[in-house]
Structure 1
Amino acid sequence: MEFIGSLCLILISTAIGGHFSARLNLPAVIGELLVGILLGPALLNWLQPNDFIHFFSEIGVVILMFIAGLESDLSLLRRFIRPSTYVAVVGMLFPILIAYLTGLYFHFSQLESIFLGVTFAATSVSISVVVLQEMKQLDSHEGTTILGAAVVDDVLAVIVLSILISFSGGQVNSSGNKQNLVLSLLLQIGYFVLLFVLGRWVIPYVMHFSSKLLVPASETLISLVLCLGLADLADITGLSTVIGAFFAGLAIGQTDYKVLIDRNIEPIGYAVFIPVFFVSIGLNMTFTGIINDFWLFFVLSIGGILSKLLGAGLGAKLAHFSWPSSFMIGAGMVSRGEMALIIAQLGLQSHLLSIDRYSAVIGAIIITTLIAPFLLRGTISKINH
């Protein structure tokens, strides 16, 4: 029963780390990551990666992506579809290109370099939302465009990631032979068609039916079944589990049960599984890894900040925002946060990112997340003055 003590240590440590991180106006995830580094092999060595942490972190990332889908505002996206799409697409192309070229320069393979690009194309605006709220800009055209672009960004990143993972080594069947590539593609296309049908017509009916069940928290129970079921089905077709979880959340978020499910799922995720996921990321990171790959870490950090700032900013300019407003939108998209961390972890598990380069990549993601709120505050202050 040693894992119970480990879980207890993780939960109390992440609660304290998240609290102090929030007090510094940083995302709680930064504190949780630092806890993983502190308790792991990098420093105290009280925790090591093991099966218990692996299984809990797998559930954690699925629930985290389910919540991300649940909280994605499609009505907001519909209202600002044009500028949001420009910001998201151009804001993804720049980081993909810069990170891809960086990977090639540092002797990554072609596939690893593409994956590196996808990692730094992701955006997490949770930290930007806090800054926008503080500075009364959340409902502005710029703030709304940032939120809409984040939805497009998330959807594109999840789809590209899943396809990339499916091509990372071919699908292997129970006999150990690679499945036919055409069959794999057909299965994956069929899965996306199924997602559309389920989201449009079936899931709303299932959620309505769940409210009639005579069991406690029946709606939450059925939403978890949908989340885990679609995640497992995605895995069977060779896609990433996160795509099933994300689109399950997206579909349920369009029903009348969104608020109820969000309120009930968050305690399950954030109280147990999600902290273990972020700690597991820190457990695989070492300072020697960053020191040994310092120039990779440095170039990814600088390139990560500038590519998203300029790419998303140019996308905003193409949507006819002024230059100051475009720069503000670009700054709001800089933070990579949990989305990039999830992608990096999945890449490590899928052998698209080697353990030798892992620390440098995670360190660069943390730097972009730390610098983002200061960058956004500075741009908003200049606009207001």
Structure 2
Amino acid sequence: MAYLGTLSLILITTALAGQLCRRFGIPAVIGQLLVGIILGPAVLGLIKTNDFVEIFAEIGVIILMFMAGLESDLGLLKKYVKPATSVAVMGVIVPVILVYGFGRLFDFNNEEAIFLGVTFAATSVSISVEVLKELHKLDSKEGTTILGAAVIDDILAVLILGALVSVFSDVAQAEGGHVQTNLWAGLIYQVLFFGVIYLLFKWIAPLLIKVAEKMTIPSAVILVSLVICLGMAYLAEMVGLSGIVGSFFAGVAVAQTPAKNKIDENIEPIGYAVFIPVFFISIGLNMTFKGFFDDLVFIIGLTILALLTKWVGCGLGAKLLGMDFSSGNIIGSGMVSRGEMALIIAQVGYEAHLLSSKYYSGVIIVIILTTVIAPFMLKGAINRQRKLEAN
């Protein structure tokens, strides 16, 4: 029954840390990560990774990605598809290429260097949204472009991650002449999987939700949406993709039904009350400060590169569509935060052996630093634009 004490400790400490962080204007997720580091082997050693933590953490990340899919506004994406696509694509290409090169400088093998680039191609704009709301810029052309680009960015990151996990796991497991066969078989299964996603959007999700609305059992719609989420995550893993690919697209599909708001309101308490805090704690549990000072050059260099590649890449994407420098500056700054998306990708890659334990802690520290620095960059960019407009 020790797991009950572990769960109680996780929930109370993450709640307190999240509240404390919010008081100082820091994302709650940063507090949850720090709790994992403090309670884990890196500091106090009160909690260690075990089957219980891993199972709850896996459910947590699947629900988190389902919620990300639910919040993806396809209507907004359609309205600002051109600037959002340009910003998102440039914001993925520039970090992948430059961070890949940086990884190779530090003796990452080819697979690890590619994965490092993909990790820092991710964006989490939840913090940027708060800043945009506070400064009344959310419904501006810059704000809407950031939101639209974030949807495309998330989709690209999830697809690239799924492909990486699939391809490299197939290569690792295959032997000799079977490599090509395994890759082709995996590709066929994955094409079929995306065919299922199309059916999910078109018929399956709307039909299941409609049936659930007619059921008399309590919370039938929420129950069915969870079945869709977990079922698609399971199916994704069966075809060699990461479970988060399935849950993310399950969320996007369910978001197109009339029950979206009801599901969103009820899924969030389930996730954030139990499973999602365990996921963020689990990331902290894998942290270690052993050799931290030896990796200081790596951490500083990667932090600078992570900030610049998103800022320049997304800003350049905005410039290509005719926006001026101040708008590009705001959009680039708004896309800098890596947040939950990068943490999820880092954890999935770590478990798939695409990120070595030697650099795992350093990568997490850099993700935290970009997440904390991003809102200050965005506020500065908006204030500079207002000064220019005032003159």
Same fold (TM > 0.5): yes
The aligned amino acid for 2:73 is D
Q: Shift of residue 180 of structure 1?
A: 2.3
Give matches, 1:1-385, under 5 Å.
1-170=1-170, 180-385=182-387
Task: Decide whether the 8 Å contact of 1:124 with 1:338 is kept in 2.
Answer: yes
Residue correspondences, number: 382
- What displacement does 1:283 show? 0.8
> 2:60 and 2:135 mapped to 1: Cα distance?
32
| Matched residue type, 1:17 | A
CA distance in 1, matches of 2:270, 2:300: 37
Q: Which amino acid aligns with 2:259?
A: Y
Distance in 2 between the 1:140 and 1:289 partners?
45
User: Is the contact between residue 290 and residue 297 of structure 1 (CA under 8 Å) also seen in structure 2?
Assistant: no
State the 1:290 CA deviation: 3.1
Query: What's the TM-score, normalizing by structure 2?
Result: 0.96
Question: Which amino acid is the alignment partner of residue 295 of structure 1?
Answer: V
* Secondary structure in structure 2 of the residue aligned to 1:243: helix
- C-alpha distance in 1 between matches for 2:106 and 2:202: 45
CA distance in structure 1 between the aligned counterparts of 2:361 and 2:198, rounded to whole angstroms: 37
Identical amino acids, percent of aligned pairs? 54
1:202 Cα deviation from its structure 2 partner? 1.8
Counterpart of 1:112, as a letter, is E
CA distance in 1, matches of 2:294, 2:15: 31
| 3-state SS of paired residue (2:214) | coil
SS in 2 for 1:121: coil
Separation in 1, partners of 2:330, 2:63: 31
User: CA shift at 1:291, angstroms?
Assistant: 2.3
Task: State the Cα deviation string for residues 204-241 of structure 1 (Å, max 9, x = none).
Answer: 11111111112110000000000000100000000010
Contact map agreement 1:289 1:359 (CA 8 A) in 2 = no
SS in structure 2 of the partner of residue 211 of structure 1: helix
Which segment drifts farther, 18-27 or 143-152? Answer: 18-27
Q: Bigger shift: 209-218 or 74-83?
A: 209-218
RMSD: 1.2
How far apart are the structure 2 equivalents of 1:200 and 1:87? 28
1:288 CA displacement: 2.5
Q: Residues of 2 paired with 1:147 and 1:197: CA distance?
A: 26
- Deviation, 1:289, is 4.5
SS of 2:279's partner is helix
Post-superposition offset of 1:50: 1.0
Specify the SS of the correspondent of 2:63: helix
Consecutive unaligned residues in structure 1, runs of 5 or more? none
Tell me the TM-score normalised to structure 1 length.
Answer: 0.97
Specify every segment of 5 or more residues in structure 2 that has no aligned partner in the other structure, as ranges: none
